[in-house]
Amino acid sequence: MSQDSLRFVHRNALVELDNVPPDRTLLELLREDMHCTAVKEGCASGDCGACTVALAEAVDGRLEYRAINSCIRLAHSIDGMVVWTAQDIAAEDGSLHPAQQAMVECHGSQCGFCTPGFVMSLFTLFQQCEAGTPVTRAQAQAAISGNLCRCTGYRPIVDAALTMHHWPAPAMDEAGLLHKLQGLNGDTPRSSQYLAPRTMAELLRLRADHPQAQLVAGCTDAGLWITKGHKRYERVIDVTRVAELRRLELRAETLSIGAGATLHDAFAALAAERAQLAHFFERFAGLPVRQSGTLGGNVANGSPIGDSMPLLIALGAEVVLASARGERVLPIEDFYLAYRKTALAPDEVLARIIVPRPQPQEMLRAYKISKRFEDDISAVCLCVAIHAQDGVIQGVRVGAGGVAAVPARACKTEAALMGQPFNATVLEAAAQVLRAEFEPISDMRASSAYRREVLGNLLLRFFEETQPGAPVPLADLTLEDLA
């Protein structure tokens, strides 16, 4: 094996590949190098799901399955994992996997372009569920939230998801796969260009030695710089193997989220503390993006339209930056200096995000305005947290996205609210302040005037939704509630 090699399990066999460039995508590896043509390239940006494959890695002695977008995922990131495409999941005798059979029986496919991606999303859902257990409609809809259907329509695809359990699953030798993975992951790193440290100390040393290397995690944005921006990277540092960065630690007053924790896991931890955020998190991209991307990556990216940052600003979160010189802590709003420019020094990495736990009397809402319900970029994002006691506002934080060059804290609006009675008159005046606080641009998603108007309207909506006896917002209702 060469020093720049990649090893993983595919079709129950060990695959060893030499001289894989550090910026080669998983889609390129599968289609061009391994001739797995069931994997399709659609948008090359992680939006359409035609490239969806399933990954599994060993976690606490079991296989943990995830559906991810292979078009923007880097090939080296699956080192030491198992990968499946739609060509790999039927039994050896040719009988179809329940995800495939259900799509046939429910007439869920008209073409072979989008269908393989849908099948892999359903395969992953099937493997995540207990054997023989039917999935719910909500689970089915969440599983295919990152897949676009161009011709069939979603009803028969959802029907397929709901009936997968009717067919027996092919035997999955999970014990054998775990044994193979154990052998792979005990090896030393095999690439001098794609660096995947396993400890924080090793990561900080590598960052100090290679300050120009591209830091990556799930590549849900950095992957686009390759597929759309045609950038090339001579050296990459992947932070997702660092155990310390994947930790979620619940403490007495804070929740500590490692920068390498997936969006799916980080959002689940936040929603466990604040259930009203669950709907907001479901609208963040699609499930394959949330299962691949990381909260730290979304924060460090510095995009003014990243949905997690306005929420973290409203929650009063802090970021911990680490280097071989030590750690420093910043309020998250101070982390952003200019468009796509952060306070990270060349030798630093984002280590973790510290989020205060809920306090009594906390009123919190997070709003996303976009053209599509899910898998879309916000035109406006507004998150509001207010603490009121005896009818008087004692604390307030407002985070906004899509209205400035950076994720922004609405300080003037907060000042207009602080110490005031929590009533309609005060909120209407604060809404006017909020509409004037930022100078948003007009673009393909919305006009400047629309964004200003919506900002104020969302603050008024916050007031209405937090009044005693207010109806539950339609967005927060489940299908069972509406039945």
Q: What is the pLDDT of residues 177-197, one digit of tens each?
A: 999 998 887 555 567 899 999
Report the percentage of the chain scoring pLDDT > 70.
Answer: 96
**Integer Cα distance of 315 and 168 in angstroms:** 46
C-alpha to C-alpha distances, 66 to 24, 121, 244, 255, 365, nearest whole angstrom: 20, 9, 21, 24, 29
Is it the case that residue 478 has pLDDT exceeding 70?
Answer: no
**362-474 has CATH 3.20.20.70 classification:** no
Instruction: Please answer whether residues 430 and 393 qualify as being in contact, where contact means their C-beta atoms are separated by less than 8 angstroms.
Output: no
3-state secondary structure of 66: strand
Q: What is the separation of C-alpha 452 from the centre of its chain, rounded to a whole number of angstroms?
A: 27
pLDDT digits (tens, 9 = 90+) for 304-319: 999 999 999 999 999 9
Residue 210's contacts (CB-CB under 8 Å, 6 or more residues apart) are: 195, 235, 237
Question: Residue 330 corresponds to which tokens in the numbers above?
Answer: 């910043």
Report the DSSP pairing between strands 349-356 and 341-342: unpaired
Radius of gyration of the chain (CA): 23
Residue 35's contacts (CB-CB under 8 Å, 6 or more residues apart) are: none
**Integer Cα distance of 422 and 407 in angstroms:** 26
Instruction: Give pLDDT, residue 475.
Output: 56
Question: Residue 71: left (phi > 0), alpha (psi -120 to 50), or beta?
Answer: alpha
Maximum CA extent, the chain: 72
| Number of neighbours of residue 405 by Cβ within 10 angstroms | 17
Instruction: Give pLDDT, residue 479.
Output: 34
CATH topology of domain 5-175: Ubiquitin-like (UB roll) (3.10.20)
C-alpha to C-alpha distances, 26 to 52, 231, 353, nearest whole angstrom: 11, 16, 29
Let me know if the fold of 5-175 is the same as that of 362-474: no
Instruction: List the domain boundaries for the chain.
Output: 5-175, 194-356, 362-474
- Paired with 257 in beta bridges are 248, 353
Is it the case that residue 294 has pLDDT exceeding 90?
Answer: yes
Instruction: Give pLDDT, residue 158.
Output: 97
**Integer Cα distance of 72 and 68 in angstroms:** 9
Instruction: Please answer whether residues 320 and 329 qualify as being in contact, where contact means their C-beta atoms are separated by less than 8 angstroms.
Output: yes
Q: Pick from 221, 461, 240, 224: which is nearest to 363 by CA? A: 461
pLDDT digits (tens, 9 = 90+) for 123-157: 999 999 987 789 999 999 999 999 999 888 999 99
Instruction: Give pLDDT, residue 9.
Output: 97
Question: Residue 32: left (phi > 0), alpha (psi -120 to 50), or beta?
Answer: alpha
What mean pLDDT is reported for the chain?
93
Query: Of the ranges 74-88, 144-158, 243-257, 413-427, which one carries the lowest mean pLDDT score?
Result: 144-158
Report the DSSP pairing between strands 236-238 and 214-216: parallel
| Residue that has been written with the tokens 């994992």 in this structure | 81
pTM: 0.94
Q: Could you give the angle at the alpha carbon of 56 between the alpha carbons of 53 and 58, nearest 5°?
A: 170
Which contiguous run of DSSP H or E holds residue 362?
A: strand 362-369
Instruction: Give pLDDT, residue 183.
Output: 80
CATH number of 194-356: 3.30.465.10
Instruction: Please answer whether residues 402 and 305 qualify as being in contact, where contact means their C-beta atoms are separated by less than 8 angstroms.
Output: yes
